[in-house]
């Protein structure tokens, strides 16, 4: 029974790679230094895995930016706009071409855009999207894979297992840049290059090669299924004498089980954390000789494995296949977990004893093997941690559980239907046609960030800090009044991050010091951890919203983050369904909404930018998710009177396939991002005859460019042609925290002018 690992975090224990890359980009270190930093991280990772008893140690899982971009370079799928960079850098300066593709290239009169980036399945990792043309060619372009493998061989010997994104998933992860061809048809051109790569790795001494095919766990069309059969058939024919492991993860094989188990390869990896139920089906269909890698340890979360549960799965598989045909493994690459729990010295030891980061998860692979071989002590130790978590009063709060259990339909329904609410709200606020507002945050300048840093370092007292934030808030309010906005915001100067700010004030949350996870390139995020039942010990935002409302006669919007976004951007509990955690958060936000209302705030925005990204990977699971997610939002929004106006906000507004659910949120006003699509994204709302009020963003906040009044009037005219004019609000696409003040003020002035013109013309 081999102990397998699919991939390891590449940033290094103290984010050394981030620092090295950023120094290289800034011209502070040279290429050799950067490569040296990478070498050290790799060697440390490999050594650690060997020391932990891992038998198949991944290599080529390292990347300076992204593993999909590495494949693009390896396969020579370089988009033509980089040919100039290509001729400029000579072949041993491949690194500059690579970073140009990742980040764009501005030098010596060249200005080339970066390749597009998108989310890696349902993780918060972003990959660089391959670009394909109809006459796309592939060839081995880069030697990096082979030199990394040789390096790994020196350290790990036979254990070194190169990891590549498999040919079908590589194509499916990419994008056609021309019409009239399908990317999947490129498989015939692509497979020969994979064959060549695999043969070379074999010649250098590789015994196992891992080909990641996460798309096998997604909905596939007929052509895509055929591509799998074709690709692996060809590889099997051409590459004898080396073992291929196909790795699937993030969901179950379901209708692709037959296809997956019958691929002519030596081993198949399945994710038994996301889809434990697939084990029995796989075991019943698996042909003789195929080895099964059991992904029993959660590669997507921070919790200790329940060895008893995993052992049952392992025993089940061993009894059918025998020990020699089983591998023990984390569910997916450990890239998505933080590096090392030992570095966390501030977490309550009782809670820490329930947790495991990447390094600890490697130890779990080994421990499971030991336990399987008869070590009962390790099992007992583990089970006492698991038991204490089941009962601990740190986690379990009866009052919270009772409240969630008692939720009724009335809790997720406003008192009256929208038409009556709209009337009452019009009488109350007397807003003009095309009312203007912003999404919440104003520029988070260095000064504002410094305030928080100084408070943390103890250089400012809380009073001094609060006074400075108050001043920033008052300034922002005066500016909004001068510009003539109708509904104001306080600016969110007191917030570091829209989830962390709430997490810090809710019970049931903890924060790590070093729990970084790669998001894209050198950028890492440190998601807060929900460990227990969530409750709200006291008001969270009332102090700031109330203060802001006192400074002005105009309506001041209260600003909250919604339950699904809080859930989605945190590490969540694995000891209860996500839906239950969502309801707990929803009740806490609901109480805050009511508290704001009681404090005289008449308009409250509950941001839900993450609703869409929470969609499950398989379509069959969408409706169950949408049911509880939309309900959680409604619970948070429905505690108020009809006269109180609830807004919600979402970025990435491609809502075609879930527009019904967006409408079911029943927010009085929804503000969305639409300017970059020239209002095209509004079509879904128009086709659906979206009944409530809506603010389609009229300017792109992602760039410092100041839009003209004329442009924005045009966009408003487009919007008014699609939806009733009396339902339309005027606002930017998203919050302004990443912008600077000068462009923000100019853009907002033009926006208010645009609204005035629209009132006259439309």
Site for Zn ion, rule CB under 5 A:
609, 651, 734
- 634 annotated ligand-binding residue: no
Based on CB atoms, which residue is closest to ligand GLN, 559 or 713? Answer: 559
Which among ligand GLN, Zn ion, none contacts residue 252 (Cβ within 5 to 8 A by kind)? none
The binder of 607, among ligand GLN, Zn ion, none, by C-beta within 5 to 8 A per type, is: ligand GLN
Of 61, 69, 68, the C-alpha closest to 10 is 61
Position 527 contacts ligand GLN (CB under 6 A): no
Q: How far is the CB of 451 from ligand GLN (least distance, A)?
A: 18
Please select the residue that binds ligand GLN; options are 145, 559, 663, 720, rule is CB under 6 A. Answer: 559
> Is 647 among the catalytic positions?
no
Taking contact as CB under 6 A, which single stretch among the options 37-45, 65-73, 319-327, 436-444 is the one that binds ligand GLN? 436-444
Instruction: Extract long-range pairs of 617-624: CB within 8 Å, 24+ residues apart.
Output: 617/121, 617/122, 617/217, 617/218, 617/250, 617/251, 618/218, 618/219, 618/251, 618/254, 619/219, 620/219, 622/658
97 vs 650 by CB, closer to ligand GLN? 650
Residue 441, contacted partner among Zn ion, ligand GLN, none, CB below 5-8 A by kind:
ligand GLN
Q: Taking the mean position of all CA atoms in its chain, how far away is CA 186? A: 29
182 versus 504: smaller Cβ distance to ligand GLN: 504
Query: To the nearest 10°, the Cα dihedral for 224, 225, 228, 233?
Result: -130
> Among 499, 605, 443, 439, which Cα is nearest to 124's?
499
Tally of CB atoms within 10 A around 184:
18
Q: Is 732 in the site for ligand GLN (CB under 6 A)?
A: no
In terms of CB distance, is 144 or 605 closer to ligand GLN?
Answer: 605
Distances 421 to 334, 408, 416, 640 between C-alpha atoms, Å: 49, 22, 6, 11
Judged by CB under 6 A, which stretch of 49-57, 354-362, 437-445, 614-622 contacts ligand GLN?
A: 437-445
| Whether the Cβ atoms of residue 528 and residue 571 lie closer than 8 Å to each other | yes
Confirm or deny that 439 is annotated as ligand binding. Answer: yes
Query: Is 689 marked as a binding-site residue?
Result: no
Answer yes or no whether residue 649 interacts with ligand GLN by CB under 6 A: yes
Cα distance between residue 753 and residue 742, in whole Å = 17
Nearest-approach distance from CB 507 to ligand GLN, in angstroms: 23
Q: How far apart are CA 707 and CA 321, in angstroms?
A: 65
Residue 59, CA distances (Å) to 79, 335, 360 in order: 26, 13, 19
Q: For 452-476, give the secondary structure using H, E and C.
A: HHHHHCCCCCHHHHHHHHHHHHHHH
Q: Tell which positions 479-498 bind ligand GLN, by CB under 6 A.
A: 492, 498
Interface stretch with ligand GLN, choices 79-87, 438-446, 549-557, 613-621 (CB under 6 A): 438-446
The partner in contact with residue 500, picked from ligand GLN, Zn ion, none with C-beta cut-offs of 5 to 8 angstroms by kind, is none
Please identify, using beta-carbon distances, which residue of 412 and 444 lies nearer to ligand GLN: 444
Q: How far apart are the first and last CA of the chain?
A: 72
Shortest gap between Cβ of 697 and Zn ion (angstroms)?
8
SS3 label, residue 645? strand
613 is in an annotated binding site: yes
Measured CA to CA in angstroms, residue 377 lies from 254, 356, 370 at distances of 37, 19, 10
Show Cβ contacts of residue 481 under 8 Å, excluding neighbours closer than 6 positions: 488, 552, 554
d(CA 680, CA 498): 28
Sign (positive/negative) of CA torsion 636, 642, 643, 645? Answer: positive
**Interface with ligand GLN (CB under 6 A), residue from 206, 734, 751, 755:** 734
Q: Which does 559 bind (CB under 5 to 8 A by kind): ligand GLN, Zn ion, none?
A: ligand GLN
> By C-beta, is 431 or 650 nearer to Zn ion?
650
Contact string 281-320 vs ligand GLN (x = CB under 6 A): ----------------------------------------
Alpha helices in 412-523 (DSSP H): 418-429, 446-456, 462-483, 500-503
Q: Give the separation between CA 499 and CA 495, rounded to whole angstroms.
A: 9
Measured from the CB of residue 476, what is the shortest distance to ligand GLN in angstroms?
12
667: contact with ligand GLN by CB under 6 A: no
421 in contact with ligand GLN (CB under 6 A): no
Per the residue annotation, which of 126, 336, 702, 740 is the catalytic one? 702
Q: Return the one option of ligand GLN, Zn ion, none that residue 498 interacts with (CB less than 5 to 8 A, by type).
A: ligand GLN
Q: What are phi and psi of 244, to 5 degrees?
A: -105, 130
Give me the active site residues, please: 702
Give the binding site for ligand GLN (CB under 6 A): 439-441, 492, 498, 559, 607, 609, 649, 651, 734-735, 737
């Amino acid at each position: 029974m081999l102990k397998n690992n699919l991939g390891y975090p590449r940033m290094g224990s103290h984010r050394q790679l981030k620092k090295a890359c950023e120094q290289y980009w800034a011209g502070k270190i040279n290429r050799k230094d950067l490569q040296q930093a990478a070498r050290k991280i790799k060697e440390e990772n490999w050594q650690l895995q060997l020391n932990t008893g891992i038998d198949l140690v991944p290599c080529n899982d390292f990347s300076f930016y992204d593993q999909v971009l590495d494949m693009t370079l390896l396969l020579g799928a370089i988009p033509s706009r980089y040919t100039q960079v290509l001729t400029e850098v000579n072949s041993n300066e491949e690194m500059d071409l690579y970073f140009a593709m990742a980040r764009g290239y501005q030098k010596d009169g060249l200005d080339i855009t970066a390749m597009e980036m998108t989310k890696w399945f349902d993780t918060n990792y972003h990959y660089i999207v391959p670009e394909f043309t109809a006459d796309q060619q592939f060839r081995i372009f880069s030697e990096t894979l082979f030199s990394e493998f040789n390096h790994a061989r020196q350290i790990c010997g036979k254990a070194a297992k190169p990891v590549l994104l498999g040919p079908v998933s590589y194509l499916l992860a990419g994008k056609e840049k021309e019409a009239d061809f399908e990317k999947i048809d490129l498989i015939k051109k692509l497979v020969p290059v994979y064959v060549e790569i695999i043969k070379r790795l074999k010649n250098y001494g590789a015994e196992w090669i891992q080909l990641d095919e996460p798309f096998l766990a997604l909905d596939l069309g007929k052509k895509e299924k055929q591509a799998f059969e074709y690709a692996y058939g060809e590889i099997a024919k051409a590459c004898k004498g080396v073992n291929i492991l196909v790795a699937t993860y993030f969901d179950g094989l379901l209708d692709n089980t037959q296809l997956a188990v019958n691929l002519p390869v030596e081993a198949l990896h399945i994710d038994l954390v996301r889809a434990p139920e697939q084990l029995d089906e796989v075991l019943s269909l698996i042909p003789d000789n195929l080895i099964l890698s059991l992904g029993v340890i959660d590669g997507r979360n921070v919790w200790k494995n329940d060895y008893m549960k995993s052992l049952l799965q392992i025993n089940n598989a061993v009894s059918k296949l025998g020990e020699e045909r089983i591998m023990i493994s984390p569910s997916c690459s450990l890239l998505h977990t933080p590096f090392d729990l030992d570095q966390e010295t501030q977490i309550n030891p009782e809670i820490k004893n329930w947790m495991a980061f990447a390094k600890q998860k490697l130890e779990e692979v080994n421990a499971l093997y030991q336990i399987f071989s008869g070590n009962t002590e390790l099992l007992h130790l583990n089970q006492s941690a698991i038991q204490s978590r089941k009962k601990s009063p740190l986690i379990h709060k009866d009052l919270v559980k009772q409240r969630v259990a008692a939720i009724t339909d009335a809790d997720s329904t406003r008192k009256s239907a929208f038409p009556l609410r709209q009337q009452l709200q019009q009488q109350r606020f007397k807003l003009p046609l095309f009312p203007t507002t912003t999404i919440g945050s104003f520029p988070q300048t260095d000064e504002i960030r410094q305030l928080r840093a100084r408070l943390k370092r103890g250089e400012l007292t809380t009073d001094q800090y609060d006074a400075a934030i108050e001043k920033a808030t008052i300034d922002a309010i005066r500016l909004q009044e001068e510009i003539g906005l109708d509904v104001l915001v306080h600016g969110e100067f007191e917030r570091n991050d829209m989830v962390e700010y709430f997490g810090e004030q809710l019970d049931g949350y903890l924060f790590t010091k070093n729990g970084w996870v790669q998001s894209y390139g050198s950028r890492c995020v440190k998601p807060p951890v929900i460990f227990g039942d969530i409750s709200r010990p006291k008001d969270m935002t009332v102090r700031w919203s109330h203060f802001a409302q006192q400074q002005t006669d105009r309506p001041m919007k209260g600003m909250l983050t919604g339950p699904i976004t809080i859930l989605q951007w945190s590490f969540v509990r694995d000891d209860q369904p996500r839906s239950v955690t969502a309801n707990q958060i929803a009740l806490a936000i609901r109480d805050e909404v009511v508290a704001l209302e009681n404090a005289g705030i008449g308009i409250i925005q509950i941001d839900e930018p993450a609703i869409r990204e929470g969609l499950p990977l398989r379509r069959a699971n969408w409706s169950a998710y949408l049911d509880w997610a939309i309900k959680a939002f409604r619970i948070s929004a429905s505690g108020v009177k009809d006269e109180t106006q609830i807004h919600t906000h979402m970025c990435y507004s491609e809502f075609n396939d879930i527009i019904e659910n967006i409408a079911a949120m029943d927010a009085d006003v929804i503000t969305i991002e639409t300017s970059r699509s020239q209002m095209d994204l509004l079509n879904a709302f128009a086709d659906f005859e979206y009944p409530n009020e809506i603010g389609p963003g009229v300017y792109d906040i992602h760039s410092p460019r100041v839009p003209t009044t004329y442009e924005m009037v045009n966009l408003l005219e487009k919007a008014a042609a699609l939806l009733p004019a009396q339902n339309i609000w005027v606002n930017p696409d998203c919050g302004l925290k990443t912008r600077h003040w000068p462009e923000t003020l100019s853009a907002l002035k033009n926006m208010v002018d645009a609204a005035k013109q629209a009132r006259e013309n439309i």
